[in-house]
Each structure stands twice: as C-alpha cells, then as structure tokens.
Structure 1
Amino acid sequence: MSKSTALKVASQFLSLLLCLILLPAAFAQPEDLNGTVTYENGTYESDIVPGLEEIYGNYTVHDIKPTYYSVYLMPGENKTFNVSFRNEGNETLDIAPKVIATPDYYYEVNESWVTIFPENVTVSPGVKQNFAIDVNIPEDTEIGEYEAQIAFTNDTYPEEYDDPIYIQEYTEEYSDSLYVNAMYLWVSVPVRPKLELQTSYISDTVEPGKEYVYSIQIKNVAGKDVTIDPKIMNYEIYDYSFEEPAFSNDIIEISAPSIIKADEIANMTVRVPVPENASGSYGAFIEMNADGNENDGSVPQIGLSFTVDKQPTVPYVKIFNTTTDDPITIEVSAETYDQNALVRISPQKEETYFEMNLICNSNPVNLTLVKATESGTIYSQGYALPIWAIKEDSNYQSDSSKYIERYRVPGTVGTWELTILPKNTNSFDYSITVGEFE
C-alpha cells in the first residue's frame, strides 16, 4: 500500500470516528455533555477522545484544487495544468511549492521534470492563488508510472500514531514525511509504439479441407527500421475443458519481410490449410518479435480465432398443421456479414441462398418466391481501420447485412413438411404465417 493510500484510509476512518463522536452529542441533553470538540483551520481540540490532537497535529489545512492530477506523456512531451491554493488561515503565507518524492513509491517524478510558476508568492488570508505547473518528460525517460507530492506548505503528518491502533497499523511502516497541504501528481510514461496493424485479430469460421489466406498490413511508426520475426504463440491460461484444439500451430504459415523500414507499410500473409479431419475450435496469437526483444507493449499482437464448421448436407425439417385454407407465407433469412472481408484473400465468401421443399398431406407443393431482400448497414472504412490502411478504391465497409427470401402458397387443411437446406451460412431464421402476412 502506498503512503497516499494509507492517508486516505486514515482520513476516512477519522471522519467516521468524528461522526460517531458527534452523533450522541447532537441528541444529548445539555446536562449530558461532558466535553467539547472544536475544529478551526484544520486543528482539532478535544477532551472527549484523548489522543485525537496527536493524530492530526497542530496545523492549518488549506484549500488546494485539484488534490491530484494524472497525465499520460511520451518521452519528450510536456503538459501544463493549473492548481489553485486558498489560504484558509489567519496569517499571510510565503508559498514556494516544491516537488516531494512519494514515500515508498518505486518510480518517483524527478524534480527537474516539474516547473512551477510563480516559484514564490505571498498569499493573504482568504485569498486564492493560481499556480501553473508544467511537466516535461525527458527523451530518455524509462517507461513506467511515476508519482510525487507537490507541497505548498511544510506541514507534515506525524511519522507515528499512538491512537488509534488502526491508523498506526497502516502508517508506522513509512519513514518519509507525508505533507498535509499537498497535491498528488501521477505521470504515466507509456511505451512508444513501433508498429501499427491493419487489424488486431482474425476471427473466422472455416471448413475442413479448405485453405484460407489472409493478408494484414503493418506500418512501421518507430521512426527507424524495425526487424520482425512473427511466430504463433499459445495463450498462457488454465484450460480445464481438456478440449484439443482443432489443429496444431505448425500448420499455419506466416510470410512477412524480416525488416520494415521507417514509415513503410508492409504486408504479412497468414495461410491456414484446415485439415480434412479438423473439428472444434482454435485460438492463439501472432507475436511479432520486433527487434528480437521481448514485447514491452510497443508492438500489438494479432489474435487468431477459428471455428471449424462443415456446411450441412441434410436439410432442416419442420412439421406443422393447418386447420384452415388460408394462404401460407414462409420467410427465411440469414446474416451475411463477413467480418474478415478486408483481410481474407481466399476463399471469397459465396452468396447465401436456401434450397426449399414443401409437402402437404404427402403431396409436393410448388413454392412461389414472391420477394428476395438484401439489406445492410454501411459505414466509412475509417470507422474500423487506421487512416493509412483505407483502400483508395472503396471508402465504405459493411457492418452488418441480411438476406431474406419470402415464399407464398395457397393454403389447405392438413399436415405440412417444410425442408430448408442453407447454403453458405451457418445459421438462419425462419417464420411460417397462416393467413394474411403483414
């Protein structure tokens, strides 16, 4: 636990403690009161709870906004933000804000990174003073999460607390001072990206015995040449299903250049020849192994997810009965959206259709197609792709699409058998309406 966290825990505990102290007093009769609690400018004086003054100490708590500030900055970047300080005391103060290391925090904000203006100012009682704080991260800064205090006065919390024990438990381990009138600064220095990918995953339904080929664009954004050596890696998770993957990693072939020059866009080809006896699912990811180093977050991975599903050869059968001679409308539909259309080279997705047959009282019935509808939702490619990966010949991509066929036959009383064999789809919807169709 960081010291700032301990302070928050202690403050919450003390707030609750004071509530418990003041609640009985609020409902007590005057003759029942046996002590007083006063709070003025952050100083507690009490003869009800001995030791409370030792916990808080004798100091003034001033108004500082914000009390914490967090920022993401790359090496070489800077950010300026404002902090206000209001003098809540009765005396004029000379304020010279300073950067203080946060106790027991692994990464500390270097004092040289922070410039505060004004450096020194006189603040009268009740007056609010604004400060501009500039955070500048050097080019050679190590990746990490950095923290510091920016103290406006020299008041500090006591190093040890005798009462209550709860607070002592969480604070006695710290040796450095925690400042009363301070704000907390968190600076996250993330890794600078080396590569950008056209897509971060390939998720597809594949058929046994077919070969699937995908092409993914990779852009070098590191500002210098980057070497890559893409490899298939398995997720390091515990799997208690004992289900074998649909196929092994070694059947997947990856072709990519070994060096991608600065600002160059290269193509990586992923070839998946699905075995004839494959079944089930497969999941893994492609690690790029940029510059031969362990991935520090600067290079995205490509997730692979495949479901092996053979197209059905036996139709779905639906039996239904009618008690009138009202006309019958049959509608079948399927989602036809192909989420891999931008990266799958082959095979191309074939059009969806249905083989339909209808029998009534053991006699074949001719189905009359009265309507075929194809619909979809279209958006700009920029919605899903990085700007550099958008194809010049097409600025649009389908988000979803649906194919619908509607049939109508004269009705009669009897038992009907409808068979539906879907083609080039793994699921479909159907409806049977007896009577007028809206």
Structure 2
Amino acid sequence: MRKSTALKAASQFFSLLLCLILLPAAFAQPEELNGTATYENGTYESNIVSGLEEIYGNYTVHDINPSYYSVYLMPGENETFNVSFRNEGNENLDIAPKVVAPSDDYYYDVVNESWITILPENVTVSPGVEQNFTIEVSVPEDTETGDYEAQIAFTNDTYPEEYDTPVYIQESAEGSDDSLSAEGYSDPMYVNAMYLCVSVPVRPKLELQTSYISDTIEPGKEYVYAVKIKNVAGKDVTIDPKVTKYEVYDYSFEELAFSDDTIEISAPSTIKAGEIANMTIRVPVPENASGSYDAYIEMNADGKENDGSVPQISLSFTVDKQPTTPYVRTFNTTTTDPIMLEVSAETSGQDDSVRISPEIEKPSFEINLKCNSSPVNLTLVKTSESGAVYSQGYIFPVWATEDSSSYQSDSREYTETYRAVGAIGTWELTILPKNTNSFDYSITVGESK
C-alpha cells in the first residue's frame, strides 16, 4: 500500500521519538532497578524487597552522561559526540568501553561495532574522577535504510539473567502471592551502559521545485502549472507521475470538485543524472465544477513503490467563481468629519513562479459609497503594494530559480485608500472585488493621525 511522503516522514519522526523516550527507560539509572546499588555515601536499599540480593546481586552504578544519544546520518556520513563517565565507587577502574547489543527485544537492527570508534580505548579512572570519551559514529556507504540501536558498555557488570522488572515493597491483599518473573534476556543487561540509536534515512533520488500547488480556480477555465524536477540520484531515473488520492477516511461525504483524470501531466520519462527537467500540470476545470479538490502526484520513480527517496507534490484546488454581486456594509455617522476607506487583498507569491496560465492579475476593487441614499464621490488618495522578500533558496531551492534573481517573494498585499466628504446620516458602502475572492477593509470617520 502506497503512503505519502508526509506519512513516511511522520513515521520516521515517531521512530526517533521511540529511540529518545521509550527505549532508554530499559537502561535507567539505579533508582529504577532492583539490587544493592553502592554509592559513595552508602548503600541504597530503601525500597528493595528483603532477600532479593541473592537473586539480583550487588553492583556499583556509575554516572554516565548522556545516558542515551541519537544520530541521523546518511550512508557515508559520520558524527562525533562526547560522553562522560564518573567513577562512583571506592576503587580504581580500568575502563575499556565496548559496543554491545541491547538486552531487550530489538525494535531495530543492531549497530555494527565497526561503525563505532571510541577514544580513549582504555583508561584507568580513579574514585570520584570524571573521564570524557569521544565517540565517532560512521555509517558505511552501502548501509541499508533503517534504524539501528546498540549499547556502549563502560564496565562488564551485568544484571543476572533472572532480572526482569523492578520489584518494590507493596502491601499485599490477604491470601495473595507475590512472586518474581523469571523471564530473562537473550543478551546481557549491562549495569553501566548508554543507549545509542542511529537512524539512516533513504538517499533522495529527486528534488522538486515545490512540494505543493494550491490555487483558487474558476469553472470553465484551464490552468497550467510548471514544476522543475532535479535528479540527485547520481544515475538516470525514470518517472511516470500519476495523480493519486490520499488514503484517509473522509466522513464528510463531499464529492471532489472534479475527477482525477481531469488533470493532465506531461514530463520526460527519463531524467538523466544531475539534469533539471520540467513537469507540466494542466487543469481544465469543468463548467459545472464546484467545491474543492485534494490529491497528490506520485512520481513512480524507477517503477518502484515510493520508499521515501522521492518527494510528492500535494494538489489543493478550490473552485470558486468571481463574485458578481458586491459586498454591502452600512454604518452611521454623527459628525461631518471626512470618511476614509481602505481596502486590501493579499496574493500568494508561490503562484507567480509555478502557475504559467492564466496570468495572475493584481487584485482591484469596484467601490461605491452612498449617504442617505445619495451617491458620494470618492477620491483615490493612494495605492500601495507590500510584500515579504527572502534571499534566494528560502522558498524554492536555488537551482529552481532564475540565475538573475537573488531574491524570492512569498506574498504581496495590494491596498487602495479613498477619501469622501463627511456628512451626518446613514451610509452604504459596496465593494466588488476583482481577481481575488477575499479582502480586508476599514472605515475611518475623521482624518487619521
């Protein structure tokens, strides 16, 4: 079953959370484990069931920071981090850290010890002294995508095989029998170890100019969009882009504005290594279309199911006719101060680069004003245009922008300001927007400061 990139990304995100939150609990520090834990200041045995020492044994718990660490590396990449070990015992310790398999049932594959380099390899640590270790994780080029886990053990102390879960003193109901679980672990559970999670993502094959196309379209018109595709796989990649519905439950029972086969996609069947190609999406909107349409374009790279190495393009269209009747607003005045009107509309900058036709026109407004049912002359005081501008690469990748442009615009706002002679009475303002389906307005009685 195919899944969208968004779902795959969410899955990887929650896998990482599982590394960071759930699994480290299995390697918690002394207060969460049974046994006689020896510290500098004495023996911790306040809530351990009497007589369990023979089952769980004695061990010294040393301070390891961090107790877990996660890395996100592509094949061929590496990362270095530091871990401190403090000797909490009363004797010198010869420490030679080693990579070992986790003691619990594996959620992921086990990290190969050849990926890990630990320096110093061995060192003597005196009581109360903190020793720093440098750990380098190097993921080989041929590593398969997935999540990997391991422990880095600093001492050879392990819990007995019978160890399962902490047992604490509780008042038992009369006649009940408190017993210990004897289920052991397939691998030793090290007392003084940190947990390591290595996530190896899929190496991308393609990059897209944009991950979505969102637009308001009119019935009876044809819209054309162009999206650039870059091959970053290092080899030729075949594509066969298809419109695909989201695999989610829809309880609204609302039909889509038009069918999937309404959308026409044209793109080269093969994109050479390093090449940038164009994909054209054509949307001839039916005359009777209304409502909205949501789907995505699956690239079907190399004829295989998407493993996360190929992004998708989300499609979101709202079918809406331009208003033919104006918006009406009535208000009253008690002074003869002048009337100031301001009307504005905002457009998205994404459409300028992606939508080829029809050309996007600036919003404008047909405004009329009456006072006590009589028309009032409006004087256009000013028009203004404002927008958000970013350096190249903020909105679209650098390779997808024109060489001559060092900036990209995210959105634009167009504003028209009018003045009318004031009078006491009831006013009626009508606004008919053009080239936009939404706008903001303000009415000010009296000169603005």
Q: CA deviation at 1:80?
A: 3.0
* Structure 1 runs not aligned, ≥5 long: 19-36
Quick one: distance in 2 between partners of 1:156 and 1:372?
76
* 2:316 equivalent in structure 1: 305
Q: CA deviation at 1:393?
A: 2.6
* 1:223 equivalent in structure 2: 234
Quick one: distance in 1 between partners of 2:165 and 2:407?
68
Matches within 5 A, 1:348-387: 348-387=359-398
CA shift in 2, pair 1:132/1:42, >3 Å: farther
The worse-fitting range, judged by mean Cα deviation, of 418-427 and 53-62 is: 53-62
CA shift in 2, pair 1:173/1:421, >3 Å: farther
CA shift in 2, pair 1:55/1:349, >3 Å: farther
* 1:33 equivalent in structure 2: none
Is 1:38–1:46's contact at 8 Å kept on the other side of the alignment?
no
Quick one: distance in 2 between partners of 1:170 and 1:310?
69
* 2:102 equivalent in structure 1: 102
Counterpart check, 1:133 vs 2:135: yes
Is 1:3–1:102's contact at 8 Å kept on the other side of the alignment?
no
Quick one: distance in 1 between partners of 2:182 and 2:75?
34
Please point out which of 111, 114, 117 is paired with 1:115. 117
Is 1:44–1:53's contact at 8 Å kept on the other side of the alignment?
no
* 2:407 equivalent in structure 1: 396
- Scaled by the length of structure 1, the TM-score of the pair is 0.87
Is 2:296–2:312's contact at 8 Å kept on the other side of the alignment?
yes
* Structure 2 runs not aligned, ≥5 long: 1-17, 170-178
Is 1:44–1:52's contact at 8 Å kept on the other side of the alignment?
no
CA shift in 2, pair 1:152/1:338, >3 Å: closer
- Scaled by the length of structure 2, the TM-score of the pair is 0.85
* 2:421 equivalent in structure 1: 410
Matches within 5 A, 1:227-376: 227-376=238-387
The worse-fitting range, judged by mean Cα deviation, of 277-286 and 320-329 is: 320-329
CA shift in 2, pair 1:189/1:423, >3 Å: same
Counterpart check, 1:150 vs 2:170: no
Quick one: distance in 2 between partners of 1:365 and 1:224?
68
Quick one: distance in 1 between partners of 2:429 and 2:247?
47
Q: CA deviation at 1:46?
A: 6.0
Please point out which of 175, 181, 203 is paired with 2:186. 175
Say which SS state the counterpart of residue 158 (structure 2) adopts: coil
CA shift in 2, pair 1:423/1:166, >3 Å: farther
CA shift in 2, pair 1:338/1:406, >3 Å: same
Q: CA deviation at 1:140?
A: 1.9
Quick one: distance in 2 between partners of 1:335 and 1:78?
45
The worse-fitting range, judged by mean Cα deviation, of 270-279 and 170-179 is: 170-179
What root-mean-square deviation, in Å, do the aligned CA atoms of Structure 1 and Structure 2 show? 2.9
Please point out which of 210, 213, 222 is paired with 2:221. 210
Quick one: distance in 2 between partners of 1:47 and 1:239?
52
Quick one: distance in 2 between partners of 1:312 and 1:374?
23
* Residue correspondences, number: 418
Is 1:283–1:306's contact at 8 Å kept on the other side of the alignment?
yes
- Flag the structure with larger Rg: 1
Is 2:164–2:184's contact at 8 Å kept on the other side of the alignment?
no
Q: CA deviation at 1:350?
A: 0.9
Quick one: distance in 2 between partners of 1:47 and 1:433?
73
